[in-house]
Structure 1
Amino acid sequence: MMFQKTDANPEEVKNLMKLTFYTQRKQVNQGKTIKYLMEEWPFWFRELGMAVHFKELTGIGLNETLIRNVDLKGERLLNYMNTVCANKSKKLLQAVSKLKVVRGELTGCSEDVKDMVLLLLSYFDEKEDAMFCYVEDTCLAGEVQMDQLYLTPTIVVCGRSCYSSKRFMLSVDRNIVHDNITSFISALCMMFGSYYCFNIHYPSQLASTLEFLQRCFFSINPEKGTKVEKTNTSHLHVKPRVLTLIQELSDYEWRDV
């Protein structure tokens, strides 16, 4: 009933989400479908509700942790990718050049985060379409072709690129759970948070990118274990490669030319 009103008190929503956290976790662990959870807990699929649940679950603030780490490490990562990595890899050099053209004169934290994610996907040679689905900028939730989407959390970009889009949607288990996210950073946080809130493994197509974001930008650093889905082939190679990049970044000192 509160969700159907436009003037719900954010503090009251936050408090009620905390009070019902146990029941939410119980239903996820019982294997309730995303569609069922959307009907039972609509606020969970909004930025505020997901942030509360993620904080209760992990002890980490979703948006604030990402933004703080982008401030601390984002420039270094971008500079490293644009220079050292681009000089070593023809594919990454092409990705850097393409992003400069697409981004144009746009500046700001949000644009830097878009660059970071797209360059990480290129660096790890992972599938962009497993994280992003591009649709027309006027596309409505009911018009999204669900068979184009992965079952895992996917950001639906309403526009030809992340840079031109003014609106994003979030899909989980091929359900559009939020159809009007106006910030890329919010969309990224909700996509990442969904893996934890709904007990979803990282798909092999995005394993390294998500694990890097997890460790470097969302500050989740378990000593052992991984959220990467288990496949017939060993997935142990993911962690060393991610940790190697983190180590190289910590050793890298960028200088103004």
Structure 2
Amino acid sequence: METTFCLQRRQINVLPAPSITDLRDQWQYLFTQKGLYAHFELLTEVNILRALEMSMEECGRIIAEFFSNKPSNADVRAVLSRRSDIELFFFVIQLLMAHFSETQEGLILFANASSTPADVERTHALPATPRLILLGICIQQWMISFEGQIICAGIQPSFLSGLAAVFAIFYTLNVFNEYQAEAACTLEFIQRRFIGINPEKGTKGGRVLSKRTGKVPQKKKTVNTRVASLLKKLVDFEWDFI
């Protein structure tokens, strides 16, 4: 996959954009958990799963403590009231989405633990934009949907590994300038705080063709104001927390 990386990028970037079915037929390994991680690292020089794990160890507890001390709205208070044995990272993402007034369904869907990809496609109205699909309340497995179909099934039964893979999809398939509106703030927060990709500070953001329009989207020159505000508040809180 490393040897053929340039060929993969050429096919992904071609216009008109290839269908997901064609890409999966040509590059089956790319649409696996390990393939997505590897392609993302070659593209960005970031080991995405390690970056998420380190960020969670560094600031996950601080984010949870911040919202516990300063719940920003009723949705955040509702998430805080429901916490029991929820995995920390899942809890943090729920808090972020509540803070930004974004619905969980904008990024995450749930299905029965025994569901197959065909079952999920048949029983769910899968949107065109990427979604992480968690199987079972205890996250026994996860899948990723894109363009209305299941394109990847994970091998690690953890929320963090699934989130890493679904985030990699945005960069691997050139849709990182087009985060879905339903989860745009949360995804940008993940990009900047957890993954450490800040386009305005360098070239990692890139200028790529939009799969949706066939044009080069305008590069974001500033951080979303709501994301920037939360980042600043967290920095201030972290000093007090330490």
Q: TM over 0.5: same fold?
A: yes
Structure 1 unmatched runs, 5+: 1-16
Q: Secondary structure at the match of 2:110?
A: strand
**Which residue number in structure 1 is paired with residue 103 of structure 2?**
127
**Which residue number in structure 1 is paired with residue 191 of structure 2?**
214
Distance 1:57 1:77 in 2: 29
Identity rate of aligned residues, in percent?
28
Distance 1:39 1:175 in 2: 14
Distance 1:66 1:207 in 2: 18
**For residues 95-151 of structure 1, what are the alpha-carbon distances to aligned partners after superposition, in whole Å with 9 as ceiling and x for unaligned?**
2112x1xxx346xxxx11101111111110112112112111111111114652221
Matches within 5 A, 1:11-22: 17-22=1-6
CA separation of 1:237 and 1:51: change in aligned 2, threshold 3 A: closer
- The alpha carbon displacement at 1:237 in A equals 9.2
Q: Secondary structure at the match of 1:76?
A: helix
What is the aligned length? 223
In the alignment, structure 1 residue 205 sits paired with structure 2 residue 179: no
In the alignment, structure 1 residue 241 sits paired with structure 2 residue 226: yes
Counterpart of 1:44 (choices 13, 30, 46) is: 30
Structure 2 unmatched runs, 5+: 214-219
1:40 partner amino acid: Q
Matches within 5 A, 1:40-189: 40-84=26-70, 86=71, 88-98=72-82, 100=83, 104-105=84-85, 111-145=87-121, 148-159=125-136, 161=137, 164-181=138-155, 182-189=157-164
Which runs of at least 4 in structure 1 moved beyond 3 Å after TM superposition? Answer: 224-230, 235-238, 253-256
TM-score by length of 2: 0.84
TM-score by length of 1: 0.79
Q: Secondary structure at the match of 1:152?
A: coil
Residues 32, 153 of structure 2: 8 Å contact kept = no
**For residues 141-189 of structure 1, what are the alpha-carbon distances to aligned partners after superposition, in whole Å with 9 as ceiling and x for unaligned?**
1111465222111111112x4xx22111111222212234422111100
Residues 40, 47 of structure 2: 8 Å contact kept = yes
**Which residue number in structure 1 is paired with residue 217 of structure 2?**
none
